[in-house]
Structure 1
Amino acid sequence: MTGQTEAKKTFTNIIGGQPVPAADGSTMDVLDPTTGAVYATAPQSAAEDVDRAYAAASKAYETWRWATPSERQLGLLKFADHVEANAEELVAVEVQDTGKPSGLTMSEEIGPMVDQLRFFAGAARVLEGRSSGEYLRGHTSSIRREPVGVVGQVSPWNYPMMMAVWKLAPALAAGCSVVIKPSDTTPASTVWMVNALQEFYPPGVVNVVCGDRDTGAALTSHAAPALVSITGSTRAGIAVATAAAKNLTRSHLELGGKAPVVVFDDASIEAAVEGIATAGYFNGGQDCTAATRVIAQAGIYDDFVAALTAKAKETRTGAPDDEDVLYGSINNANQLNHIAGLVERAAQSADVTAGGTRIDGPGFYYPPTVVAGVHQDDEIVQTEVFGPVITVQKFADESEALRAANGTEYGLASSVWTTNIDTAARMSAQLDFGCVWINTHIPLVAEMPHGGFKKSGYGKDLSMYGFEDYTRIKHVMHYHGLGA
């Protein structure tokens, strides 16, 4: 022990290839969620900073838009290699901001991120369109796929580095220039990545501004971007869509979720509990696709609740360096209070069979929790908890299960647990969600789209569908007179 306090870190904006503070010098504190203590400061950017970032992105776009697919690909491939080679450093940066387990962050996030970067690098060279030809005599028509232009992006605090990749990779593959704003509680990994990207892209192609909701509002209401993209709450998505509409700016919204997990009597209770507990408690349930709303058939309901309760009690949360934990701290004090409040109110009419009280001590920790005996109109069933809380309600037959599953304003993800292929087929056709998993929950691959319906937003992340969102389509018709 030296007795000395470790110096606080200082993050900066990166605009036009240069690290810069906020124009007026304002900063905000960044907390370590495992202790609740301030460990760094970041710029509290204002409208002037957003103006500067968009000016840099607009200037860069004049040239970058003409980059060839191979040039766009090469930058992403080099960046993927950089992330892979410097994974330990990036994970350490991410963990200090989020409180996640270091080992799981390395094993569960770095590999998919690198794969997603390489997927979009490949996608840059295979954009498709209708073949050119004579659809009117004497005229040849062709389709041009062009970058949509300058884009503004807002990323969330639950998966800061991975969500930044989901946003940056398709935009850069398409030839767009970017201004991205990370969450005010988790700026570190985004700043790290944007700083690294300066080596592989011309100045101004990728810019980052740090700040709070006001900064995000300035970013998404600005006249410069052709597209604004946000991953966040439904409330935030509505605000972004409203602001973007004033300029007729395209919006891409990946918002909240309340995933139904329908478990039929013929399902394997052991397999369902193992898969659902992992998908519900991983990352502290701070995932819009988390398996946190179980709808179990009456014949297995009691046994399922008992097994899930036992699993929750053996699941551990703790410090990032503890290799035996499934998840770390909750991201911030406001979120911890939100989770605790929902469970406390639910306990007045439902059964909390595991967890249910915040963990004493420093940092923002909440235990794996099961709330059984809930009903469809309960607050905790209709509200996104975004924490390590799994609710369980009972259903009698398939039609009741379907009504309960679809009976929410969200439409992002869902899963069905059954050994009956016909049941699985009927349910997957009728569930009103952007993704339906069968006998699993939460795996994602770069080739398949991620995005929801209803108040879970619109637009797709990942896949060629997500890539196409960053392009625009132009029809070119040439009169030549042949065959006229």
Structure 2
Amino acid sequence: MPLPRLSNFVDGKKTEPLDDGYAELLDPCTGTASALAPVSGPQDVDAAMRSAATAFAQWRRTTPAERQQALLRIADALESRMEEFAEAELLDTGSTAAAGEAPLMVDQLRFFAGTARLLEGSSAGEYSAGHTSYVRREPVGVCAQLAPWNFPLLMAVLKSAPAIAAGNTVVLKPAETTPRSALLFAELAAEFLPPGVLNVVCGAPATGRLMVEHPVPAMVSLTGSVEAGIDVARSAAADLKRVHLELGGKTPVVVFADADLDAATAKIIEGAFGNAGQDCTAATRVLADREIHDELVERLAAAARAVRPGPPADRAAAYGPLNNAAQLERVRGLVERLPEHAEVVVGGKQAGEAGYFFEPTVVSGVRQDDEIIRTEVFGPVVTVQPFATEEEAVRLANGVEQGLASAVWTSDHTRAMRLTGLLDFGTVWVNTHLGFPSEMPHGGFKHSGYGKDLSMYGFEAYTRIKHVMHHVGA
């Protein structure tokens, strides 16, 4: 029986690829092919960009109220059809995360619908004698957006909603292994948006490079690896395109001796193994006060032994597979290359013979210069390091190239306040983990990129500022 074929979504309709044909999508639970997805080439990318450019000429002129209404209707439709979207994502990821993230996605759409009517600027005034000045905040133009495979639908919403709310048009490329939910989202959005406002093209990294290098986009947004971010920034610089990058993380979770260890353990396990650890803010680098280091390792190991990965049909499974064979090999390789001084306390191996499952893993005895401490694992692996003083904890936490998110566990309010200023990360959680309210910015420092998602900061990133001056006489 032939595999089903997916289509790109360009100019308000499904379109067949014009260039390179199709590639197999593999079910990560079994490793077998489940469908064929387009591999978009230059003609496909150009068609999508031209559609977005044509649509921008009119969409930029819509009122904030009109853009708000469109996004609110999309939010309502997504909310009513979430089971369909969760099923589409399940086929690509083997994960039920989309169903759990549904309220967050709908809330983000409704939040950005509201931001469309909250454009801010300096008050008009006579800042030069005989002249009145004011500020216009305008859409940037066509936005090329590159999404990752860990939360496909959530990323499609997170990227497209603020851009569209600000009056831009979008060409979105989902990850090559997870296109289904983004294509379905574009099809749903087309019921409420003019053709060309949201286009989706499928393909490999080469397709994304074509999008970045195309002359039409004024802005490029990527959520992905540090290596991909450097590549995008370099390509975009050749045409001076605006760039927003949300890249990898290496989240430190600093646990002091006075912390609530029951709560800390539960949140670390949830934050480390949820979605198989495929989260750039995953709680996978634990720094433990020496007084409670051994106890915390034992607690984490016991909790890890109590969970297991499995396919969606396994209701008792805590998480699903890694997304693809290359990611499985990456995680396995990082564990297998551990130095002799490190100890795999629990886990450390592929789970089962079929698919890309990996055991929940806890590693102790690691040192700051070890590969597994400095490299994002993006899998269900927790490392634990001891620290003796608050100063050492901060030094170890900050001693990596990434700066996306961090967490502190302590009952000392003064210490918590002190560390939130010292930790060099875009987010600091105190006695919690993985909170992403739509009103608050998300984005990192250093090699974790620049720019913010969510919040008014994320919305304003998709606008440009223009000064207008009128001569009004003496």
Q: Counterpart of 2:370?
A: 378
User: Which one of the candidate residues 54, 72, 80 is aligned to 1:85?
Assistant: 80
In structure 1, give the amino acid aligned to 2:34.
Y
The DSSP-based 3-state class of the residue aligned with 1:126 is coil
Kindly state the Cα deviation for residue 360 of structure 1 after the two structures are TM-superposed. 2.2
User: Which one of the candidate residues 34, 44, 58 is aligned to 1:49?
Assistant: 44
Kindly state the Cα deviation for residue 25 of structure 1 after the two structures are TM-superposed. 5.5
Kindly state the Cα deviation for residue 367 of structure 1 after the two structures are TM-superposed. 1.0
**Number of residues paired by the alignment?**
474
Q: Counterpart of 2:106?
A: 114
Q: Counterpart of 2:357?
A: 365
In structure 2, give the amino acid aligned to 1:310.
A
User: Which one of the candidate residues 19, 27, 32 is aligned to 2:27?
Assistant: 32
Kindly state the Cα deviation for residue 191 of structure 1 after the two structures are TM-superposed. 0.5
User: Which one of the candidate residues 95, 116, 119 is aligned to 1:124?
Assistant: 116
Verify the 8 A CA contact 2:309 2:351 in the aligned structure 1.
Answer: no
C-alpha separation between the residues in 2 aligned to 1:435 and 1:264?
19
Verify the 8 A CA contact 2:273 2:319 in the aligned structure 1.
Answer: yes
RMSD across aligned positions (CA): 1.0
Q: Counterpart of 1:403?
A: 395
Verify the 8 A CA contact 1:229 1:252 in the aligned structure 2.
Answer: yes
Verify the 8 A CA contact 2:98 2:154 in the aligned structure 1.
Answer: no
The DSSP-based 3-state class of the residue aligned with 1:60 is helix
Q: Counterpart of 2:61?
A: 66
Structure 2 spans left out of the alignment, 5+ residues? none
Runs of 4+ in 1 over 6 A off after TM superposition: none
Query: Is 1:19 paired with 2:11?
Result: no
Kindly state the Cα deviation for residue 20 of structure 1 after the two structures are TM-superposed. 1.0
C-alpha separation between the residues in 2 aligned to 1:109 and 1:442?
12
Verify the 8 A CA contact 2:98 2:153 in the aligned structure 1.
Answer: no
Query: Is 1:434 paired with 2:434?
Result: no
C-alpha separation between the residues in 2 aligned to 1:40 and 1:200?
28
User: Which one of the candidate residues 98, 114, 121 is aligned to 1:105?
Assistant: 98
C-alpha separation between the residues in 1 aligned to 2:98 and 2:15?
29
Query: Is 1:278 paired with 2:270?
Result: yes
Which moves more between the two structures, 24-33 or 206-215? 24-33
Q: Counterpart of 2:323?
A: 331
Kindly state the Cα deviation for residue 134 of structure 1 after the two structures are TM-superposed. 1.2
Verify the 8 A CA contact 1:156 1:232 in the aligned structure 2.
Answer: yes
User: Which one of the candidate residues 236, 239, 251 is aligned to 1:259?
Assistant: 251
1:46-96 Cα offsets, whole Å, 9 max, x none, are 111111111111111111110100111111111111111111111000011
In the TM superposition, 1:142-153 aligns within 5 A as 142-153=134-145
C-alpha separation between the residues in 2 aligned to 1:396 and 1:112?
38
Query: Is 1:387 paired with 2:370?
Result: no
C-alpha separation between the residues in 1 aligned to 2:191 and 2:339?
53
In structure 2, give the amino acid aligned to 1:105.
A
Query: Is 1:355 paired with 2:347?
Result: yes
Verify the 8 A CA contact 2:98 2:151 in the aligned structure 1.
Answer: no
Q: Counterpart of 1:95?
A: 90
Kindly state the Cα deviation for residue 324 of structure 1 after the two structures are TM-superposed. 2.3
Kindly state the Cα deviation for residue 387 of structure 1 after the two structures are TM-superposed. 0.2
Verify the 8 A CA contact 1:221 1:240 in the aligned structure 2.
Answer: no
In the TM superposition, 1:164-175 aligns within 5 A as 164-175=156-167
C-alpha separation between the residues in 2 aligned to 1:12 and 1:348?
49
> What TM-score comes out, normalization by structure 2 length?
0.99
1:263-292 Cα offsets, whole Å, 9 max, x none, are 111111111111111011111110000000
1:162-215 Cα offsets, whole Å, 9 max, x none, are 001000100110000110000000010001101111111111111111000100
C-alpha separation between the residues in 1 aligned to 2:413 and 2:46?
55
C-alpha separation between the residues in 1 aligned to 2:212 and 2:229?
10
Q: Counterpart of 1:308?
A: 300
The DSSP-based 3-state class of the residue aligned with 2:172 is strand
1:20-57 Cα offsets, whole Å, 9 max, x none, are 11113510111111111100111111111111111111
Kindly state the Cα deviation for residue 347 of structure 1 after the two structures are TM-superposed. 5.8
C-alpha separation between the residues in 1 aligned to 2:27 and 2:71?
30
Verify the 8 A CA contact 2:28 2:356 in the aligned structure 1.
Answer: yes
Q: Counterpart of 1:236?
A: 228
Q: Counterpart of 1:187?
A: 179
C-alpha separation between the residues in 2 aligned to 1:146 and 1:54?
20
C-alpha separation between the residues in 1 aligned to 2:235 and 2:74?
33
Kindly state the Cα deviation for residue 322 of structure 1 after the two structures are TM-superposed. 2.6
1:405-441 Cα offsets, whole Å, 9 max, x none, are 0000000000000000111111110100000000111
C-alpha separation between the residues in 1 aligned to 2:259 and 2:201?
48
User: Which one of the candidate residues 135, 160, 163 is aligned to 2:155?
Assistant: 163
Identical residues among aligned pairs (%): 54
